Structures are given as structure tokens and as C-alpha cells.
Chains A and B, each alone.
Chain A
Amino acid sequence: MQEILEHLTLGFDVALTPINFFYCLVGAFLGTLVGVLPGIGPVTTIAMLLPFTFKMPAVGSLIMLAGIYYGAHHAGSTTAIMLNMPGEPSSIVICLDGHPMARQGRAGVALFISAIGSFFAGCVGVVVIATLAPFLSESSLLIGPPEYTSMIIMALVSSAVVISNSPLTTIAMSALGVLIGTVGTDVSTGTWRFTFGSHFLTDGVSFVAVATGLFAFAEVIHHIAKPAEHTEATAKINSLIPTREDMAAAWKPILRGTGLGALFGILPGTGPLVCSFVSYAVEKQLAKDPSRFGKGAIEGVAAPEASNNAAAITHFIPMLGLGIPAGAAMALMLGALMIQGITPGPQVMTGHPDLFWGVVASMLIGNVMLLILNLPMVGLWVRLLKVPYRLLYPAILLFCCIGVYSVNSQVFDVFLAAGFGALGFIFKRLDCPPGPLVLGMILGPVLEENMRRSLLMSRGHASVFLTSPVSVAMLLLAVAFIVVFARGKKVIETPVATNATENDTALS
């Protein structure tokens, strides 16, 4: 108990220094501002704003990046509710019931519930981390190379199956990411691999360039090429304050979502992605009248939002402690941290306690800021949604180009980003999501290193992955994710279908 309080006090001491408080505010504001603009998700937002953090101290820059991340994420929920436009895979679920609520004139209530749910879940998440962290830094001793290998495989497989229409191609995307991760100097032997004779590639492919190309450039090309369609913020905001019935219907889902999210967040790699889907499915199963889902059930907004935010916070344990992020946006944050010279690993919690606890505490403060920043200004943000895309995309392109260049001050990275833009656009047309590729690229070198060590320890016997309980559990979990999501998709798909038809009729 003593220890928990000490950690939290340290965290708030760091997060509440004026300069860090300011970074947090700027991050949350910029994240929201850029995130509500149409066609820009959290990944693009972070990639565009990355150069702003280079000159900062590590703690400040991670606080600001985290602010950008959840600011953009929150903005994603806003656009999901108001416009049926999810900013990233995990906000797809919010669209299902949030947008129907908005059509019924209850957009304000949906936004308010999602904000309150997020905030509550965030508080619980922080307490969970503070309680668990001491045990976790000890238990990381249990994790040797074989366990780590299985864990990464689990993370790659599960993050791929969650967002897939076709599991084969999404898992292939992860594997392709791992392949791209092999470009550069082989750590163990010093050999240059797949550099195509170019000395620009000896340090590996620039991660920011790949993410910018795959997400930002591909998205811009996709939007321009699409025949102009009008997205209209039809929803009006009548009242923000939910009625007593709304609160009565929402508090239990918020609790359940928070619990699920806090639990799932600790799982490496999958966390926030999986849990919003799972908690939505759980609410639908538990509901007395499941047919209300997809037509504006408040539980369908409350639970996923709460679980998502709880997971985003508890996810800092595997992300900073093991270096396994969930999703491309988190991977980009991790990349930024490495640019700052901090290598993720169990030593982060003990060696940089101010960083770990400071960022965790700042996330809580940032959530309060979002509450204050967003709810009264929702009208303003929604008006931003109407900025025409033709004025936006040149700015997106320019900021991204400068961002990519500024990481290594190398023009080569800009060309690389252009190449990955073309590749990303092709993949987008083929329904292959870029997120798993980016994750594979980040985790690939770690996977290789640990696989090599495991097999060295076992003298070449692959059975080493099946003898340790932790490793077996991770591999089983990977199989379970494939099975559950292959079947569980139906639970989620039904409302998507009805939702789509509703929109079609509304448009025609």
C-alpha cells in the first residue's frame, strides 16, 4: 500500500510540474484538433506532430505524445458518434450504437457517457497499474527468451485477427512486417541484409517513414480518388446531461467494460484493440433485449469506451515494460521513445520511475482536460469536421513530409515514405490493413533475437517453446484468438449490417 501511494505521488509530482502540465494540455488539444479533422486518424496525427517532440526532454515528450494519442482517440469517438466515421479500428465499435444515438438527437448524451466512462475507466486503470507494477517487475524474471518469443507471436497473430476480414491476408501482413524488420544490420553477426546496396538502409527501414506512407499518404490518395461524397454532421446536440434512466442503464456496462479493459490491457500486443470488441459482445450477450443493439443502445457506447480507455492505460505495462505495443499508434509512440534514447524493457519502471509514473499520472490529468476541453466545445469540434478535404490534404502531406525528414534529417526517408505510400494504397484497395504490418516491423527484430536465443539454449530443439507453461499459455491464447474471432465476428457483424442498410436508406 505504502509503495502504491509512493508511486502515485511520484507520478503526480512529475505530471503536475507546470511544464509537463503544459505539454499534457498541448498534446490533448493538438490531438483533438487534428483528430477531428476528416480523414486523419491517431497514427497520422502522431506522425504529423512527431517533430514537435524532438527537442523536449523524454518525460515531456512522452506526456505530450500520450496526450496526442488519447486526444486523437477521443476525437475518433466524437467523429464515430457524430458522423459514423471511426478514426481507428477500436472506434468501429463506437459507431455501432453511438451514431444511431446521434441520429435520434442524443449525440450529446452519447458523447457525455463516453467521456465519463473513459474518465472513470482511466482512474481505475491507474490504480490497477499502481497495484500490479511491483509484482510485474518481479514476474518479468519469469519471462525468458522462449516465453518472449511466444508472447510476440501471440501479439502479432491476435492483433491481426481482430481487425481482419480475411485472417490469411492480415496474418500475411504481420509476417511481411516482420520481413521488412529484417532489413538492415543483423545484430548478431553484423551482416548487412536486404539493404539493396544502399547505405541508407543499414540502420533498418525508418519506422516513421513506413507508418506515414502506409497510413497518411495511402489515406490521402484514397480520399482524393474517391468520388466526392458529402459527410454531413446531421446530428444536433440538444442536451449533454444524460437522464437518470441513461445513467441507470450505463453504469453497470461502464463497470464491466472497465474490468474487461483493465484485464485485457495487460495482455501484450492485443489490449485496446480486442477489448472494445469483446466488451461490446459481452454487453450484447447480457442484454435482456439484444435487438436494441445497433439502434442506439447506450450500453453499446458506454462499455466499449470504458474498456478501451482502461486498456489504454493498463497497456503501458506491456508497452513500456516489455516493449510490445498494441496497434500502430502505440508503436509510433514507442518509436518516438526510442528516438529519445529510452529502450523499453523491465528496467523502465525501475530505472526511469519518473517517466513511467509521470506518464501514467498525466494520462489521468489529460482525461480531465479532455472532459473540460471537449464537452463544452463539442459544437466547435463538429464544425471543424466540415473543413473541406481539398484544403486539408496538402497540409497533411506537407506536415508528414517534414515529419519524416526530421527524424533522421535524411531525404531518403521521404522517398521511402512515398514508396510505402504506393504500397499502402495498393494494400488498402485489397482490403489488407496496414496496422499489423507496422506492428510486425517493430516486433520483428525482437522476435528474431529471442527466437535465436531460445534455440541456442535448447540446442536447436523447437520443443523449448512447448515446455514452459507461460510459453504454452501464450501460444494457446494465440490459437484461442483465431478461433474466438472467427466465430465471434458474427456477434458483431449483425449490427454492422443493419447499420449499413439504415445508412443506405437514409441516403437514398
Chain B
Amino acid sequence: MKFRVRSQREFTAGLIFFCIGSVWLAGSLDHRIGSATAMGPGYFPLVVSFVVAALGIASVIRSLTSADADTLEPWPLAALLFVLGGVVGFGLLLQSAGLIAAAAVLILLSCWSRLRTRPAETLLLAVALIALVSGIFVFGLGMQVDLY
């Protein structure tokens, strides 16, 4: 017998919920569970992670039969990597190299694709934003962070 996934979205979501729920369930077992009268630290996470995992299984079952049909589009990995890479870069540089360097990395990485097509606009935007942010947060609001 062959199963067909009608809703790829619900199927994937169900799998994700099941995995996270299972991991958390295993983690809860590391703690003392206790009883309903005297709950240990593991009791509540155990119950909730069981619910998450069960809802995950239910979603997978629903995706096979009753859900509206849909398919997943391909993942835009470049956008994901450049934006989140910029954010992580910001975090890595903020305390060691200061706000200016961190902000520059964030802006330039997240605008990577346009650095070649519109170099002047992108650089100008970066300079303007860094000036604005430094002015507001460091000089205006007195945030405790080095500029460079």
C-alpha cells in the first residue's frame, strides 16, 4: 500500500513538531518527574512535549488524507544565509569591534546581492544608517556600546 502526501506543508510541519516534541520529551526524562500532587521539574515539560509530539503525528496523518493539497516551493537559501549571516556577524562583532563595524557587516552582508548592481546606493545607505543609528542610540539614548 502506498501513501500519498496531500499536503506537503502540513506533513513537514507535523514532522518538525514530532521531532521537537520527542527531543523535549527525552530531555524531560532527565529531570525528576514526580507525581501530579508533587510535580518535579520534569512533569510539566513531559506532558507538554507529549502534546506537541502527538499533535505532530496527528498533522502527519491529516496531511495524508484530509488536508487541502499543496506543495512546497524550493527554499531560497541565499536570502536565508545572507540575512541571518549578517545578523550573526553583527552579534560577533558588536562587543569586540564596536557598533560601526558590526552595523557595516550586517548591512553589507544583507545587501550582498545588490553590492554589484547598485554599489553607490548600497554604500550610501550603509553610511547613512550607521550615522543615524550611532546618533540615536549611542549619543541620544546613551546605550552602553563602543562605536569602534
How far is B41's CA from A191's CA once the two chains are assembled, in angstroms?
7
In the complex, the chain A residue whose C-beta lies closest to that of B20 is A176
Closest chain A residue to B144 by CB distance? Answer: A409
* A394 contact from B31, B62, B107, Cβ within 8 A: B107
Q: Are A397 and B9 within 8 A (Cβ)?
A: no
Question: Cβ of A448: which chain B residues have Cβ within 8 Å of it?
Answer: 44
Task: Judge whether A166 and B10 touch: CB under 8 Å.
Answer: yes
Q: How far is the CB of A410 from chain B (nearest CB, A)?
A: 10
As a 0/1 sequence over residues 488 to 502 of chain A, the CB contacts with chain B under 8 angstroms (1 = contact) are 000000000000000
Within 8 Å CB of B94, what residues of A?
405, 411, 414
- CA gap between A176 and B23 in the complex, in Å: 12
Query: How far is the CB of B132 from the nearest CB of chain A, in Å?
Result: 8
Which has the most chain A C-beta neighbours within 10 Å: B27, B39, B42, B62? B39
Asked whether B133 is an interface residue with its Cβ less than 8 Å from the other chain, the reply is yes
A168 within 8 A of B: yes
Q: Is A367 an interface residue (CB 8 A)?
A: no
Q: Which of A54, A169, A461 makes the CB contact (< 8 A) with B17? A: A169
Q: How far, in angstroms, from A175 to B86 measured CA to CA in the complex?
A: 31
Measured in the bound complex, the distance between the Cα atoms of B28 and A191 in whole Å is 12
Question: Using Cβ atoms and an 8 Å threshold, which residues of chain B touch A393?
Answer: 110
Q: Is A429 touching B75 in the complex (CB atoms < 8 A)?
A: yes
- A189 lies within 8 A of B20 (CB): no
A221-B76, A394-B111 known; A414-B87 Cβ under 8 A: yes
Interface centre among B52, B62, B114, B129 (most CB of A within 10 A): B52
Q: Are A451 and B84 in contact (CB under 8 A)?
A: no
Please tell me if the beta carbons of B114 and A191 are within 8 angstroms of each other in the complex.
no
Interface size on A, residues (CB 8 A): 64
Interface pair B35/A460, CB less than 8 Å apart: yes
Q: What sequence of 0s and 1s flags, for each residue 295-311 of chain A, a beta carbon within 8 Å of any chain B beta carbon?
A: 00000000000000000
Interface residues on B, range: 35 or more
In the bound assembly, the distance between CA atoms of A431 and B13 in angstroms comes to 9
B52 lies within 8 A of A418 (CB): no
CB pair A421–B10 under 8 Å, yes or no, is no
The number of inter-chain residue pairs (CB within 8 angstroms) is: 178
Q: A178-B48, A460-B37 are in contact. Are A172 and B83 (CB under 8 A)?
A: no
Which residues of chain A are within 8 angstroms of B80 by Cβ–Cβ distance? 221, 225, 422, 425
B119 within 8 A of A: no
Contact A456 B38 (CB under 8 A): yes
The CA of A460 and the CA of B83, in the complex, are separated in Å by 49
In the assembled complex, the CB of A434 is this many whole angstroms from the nearest CB of chain B, namely 13
A452 to B90, CA, bound (A): 41
A7 to B145, CA, bound (A): 42
A240 to chain B, nearest CB (A): 34
Q: A398, B141: Cβ atoms under 8 Å?
A: no
The distance in angstroms between the C-alpha atoms of A140 and B16, with both chains bound, is 39
Chain A residues near B43 (CB-CB < 8 A): 452
Q: Mark B76-90, 1 if CB is under 8 A from A, else 0.
A: 100110011011101
Given contacts A217-B87, A429-B9, contact A398 B48 (CB under 8 A): no
Q: Which residues of A contact B38 (CB under 8 A)?
A: 456
Q: Please indicate the chain A residues that have their CB under 8 angstroms from the CB of B5 in the complex.
A: none
Query: Once the chains are docked, how many angstroms separate the CA of A411 from the CA of B32?
Result: 32
B9:A431 contact, CB within 8 angstroms: yes
Q: Do residues A225 and B17 form an inter-chain contact, with CB atoms below 8 A?
A: no
Partner of B141, one of A55, A397, A399: A55
21 residue pairs A–B, Cβ–Cβ below 8 Å: A166-B10, A169-B55, A172-B55, A179-B21, A179-B49, A179-B52, A188-B39, A194-B27, A221-B83, A391-B125, A394-B129, A397-B87, A398-B129, A401-B87, A402-B133, A415-B88, A417-B87, A426-B16, A427-B13, A430-B10, A432-B13
Chain A residues proximal to chain B, CB less than 8 Å: 51-52, 54-55, 165-166, 168-169, 171-172, 175-176, 178-179, 182, 186, 188-189, 191, 193-194, 217, 220-221, 224-225, 390-391, 393-395, 397-399, 401-402, 405-406, 409, 411-412, 414-415, 417-418, 421-422, 425-427, 429-432, 444, 448, 451-452, 455-456, 459-462
A-B complex: 5 closest residue pairs judged by Cβ atoms: A225-B76, A414-B91, A460-B36, A172-B55, A460-B37
| A393-B110, A460-B37 given; 10 more Cβ-contact pairs under 8 Å | A51-B141, A168-B55, A169-B13, A179-B49, A225-B80, A398-B90, A398-B103, A427-B13, A430-B12, A459-B37
